[in-house]
């Protein structure tokens, strides 16, 4: 709930702390932000817009696909890495939750429906979670995804509405990465866990359906962009095969960036040429960076 993350929130206009007054967040400078009836709050700056956010259809597709468990190994790997980070260990190391890490908020930048954040919070009892996204359609779902999630509309490319050094852990799953802001909101010793697709991700569908592809140098480029702000401390690849029906394939296309670039009629023609079900490779890197 929003009350769980109130101590970590900053006003998007003046960066001062926010306090909850009924159903309104207020700062000492008099700026106020009302909670939406769906449970989230918008902390966008006045000149920001949400045109780049996921649409209602994209969010519904993602919710259906994730609820079916197709990407459960990714969620499990992320939760394991979160527990390791809380103990000050590298991803993949055995650890127990909250055994010496910096604590604080778990902030999910580009949280979408809150699916991955909820999985991590289950592995880190007592930690509050902030679902940060520019899509109000996604945050309507994120606000209900876990009792310790507070959902906030914000722009990942602008100053995040979080106080300095407020987060012990930042998650970033298939989402934009703002290195300077991630460093600012992380506590000293805090960790960014970043999930990104490898070049093998959905390879059986990319060429056949004309989807956006991932180049082989993606991880190197991510490391270079984050390098001035955070130190890489470990990574692991998670790769597995999922069997997808024609409906599942349509859903996985509709929930990602290819949804903005795919012609529905052409997609339907190409889908008809695929076996049903089709075996598809899911392949991601789970990388940890420390402040």
The whole-number pLDDT of residue 195 equals 96
CA 187 to chain centre: 19
Say how many Å lie between the first and final Cα of the chain, rounded.
27
183 forms beta bridges with none
CA distance 41 to 150: 9
Report the alpha-carbon distance of residue 246 to residue 267 in Å, rounded. 11
Q: What pLDDT does residue 95 have?
A: 37
**Rounded Cα gap, residues 117 and 108, in angstroms:** 6
What is the pLDDT at residue 258?
A: 60
Q: State the total domains in the chain.
A: 1
Quote the domain boundaries for residue 181.
Answer: 2-290
pLDDT tens digits in sequence order for the chain, 291 residues long: 788 999 999 999 999 999 999 899 999 999 999 999 999 999 998 666 655 677 888 888 889 899 999 999 999 999 999 999 988 755 544 433 333 345 789 999 999 999 999 999 999 999 999 999 999 999 999 999 999 999 999 999 999 999 999 999 999 999 989 999 999 999 999 999 999 999 999 998 888 887 777 878 888 899 999 999 999 999 999 999 999 998 888 888 877 666 555 666 777 777 777 888 899 999 999 999 999
Global pTM value: 0.89
Give me the pLDDT at residue 222, please: 92
Report the CATH number at residue 138. Answer: 3.40.50.150
Phi, psi of 216 (to 5 degrees): -65, -20
Which single residue is written with the structure tokens 């980070």? 85
Chain centre to alpha carbon of residue 158: 16
In the prediction, which pLDDT does 280 show?
93
């Amino acid at each position: 709930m929003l009350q769980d993350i109130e101590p970590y929130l900053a006003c998007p206009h003046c960066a001062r702390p926010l306090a909850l007054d009924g159903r309104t967040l207020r700062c000492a400078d008099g700026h106020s932000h009302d909670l939406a009836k769906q449970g989230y709050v918008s902390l966008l700056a006045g000149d920001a817009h949400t045109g780049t956010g996921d649409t209602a259809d994209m969010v519904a597709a993602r919710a259906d696909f994730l609820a079916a468990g197709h990407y459960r190994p990714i969620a499990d790997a992320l939760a394991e890495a979160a527990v390791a980070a809380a103990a000050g260990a590298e991803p993949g190391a055995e650890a127990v939750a909250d055994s010496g890490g910096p604590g604080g908020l778990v902030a999910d930048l580009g949280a979408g429906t809150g699916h991955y954040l909820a999985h991590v919070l289950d592995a880190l009892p007592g930690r509050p979670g902030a679902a940060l996204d520019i899509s109000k359609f996604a945050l309507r779902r994120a606000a209900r995804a876990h009792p310790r999630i507070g959902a906030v509309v914000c722009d990942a490319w602008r100053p995040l509405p979080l106080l300095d050094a407020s987060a012990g852990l930042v998650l970033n799953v298939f989402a934009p990465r703002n290195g300077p802001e991630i460093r600012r909101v992380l506590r000293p010793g805090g960790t960014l866990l970043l999930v990104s697709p490898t070049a093998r991700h959905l390879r059986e569908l990319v060429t056949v359906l004309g989807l956006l592809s991932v180049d082989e140098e993606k991880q190197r480029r991510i490391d270079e962009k984050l390098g001035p702000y955070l130190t890489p401390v470990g990574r692991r690849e998670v790769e597995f095969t999922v069997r997808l029906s024609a409906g599942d394939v349509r859903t996985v296309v509709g929930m990602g960036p290819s949804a903005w670039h795919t012609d529905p009629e052409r997609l339907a023609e190409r889908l008809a040429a695929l076996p049903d079900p089709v075996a598809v490779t899911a392949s991601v890197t789970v990388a940890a960076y420390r402040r």
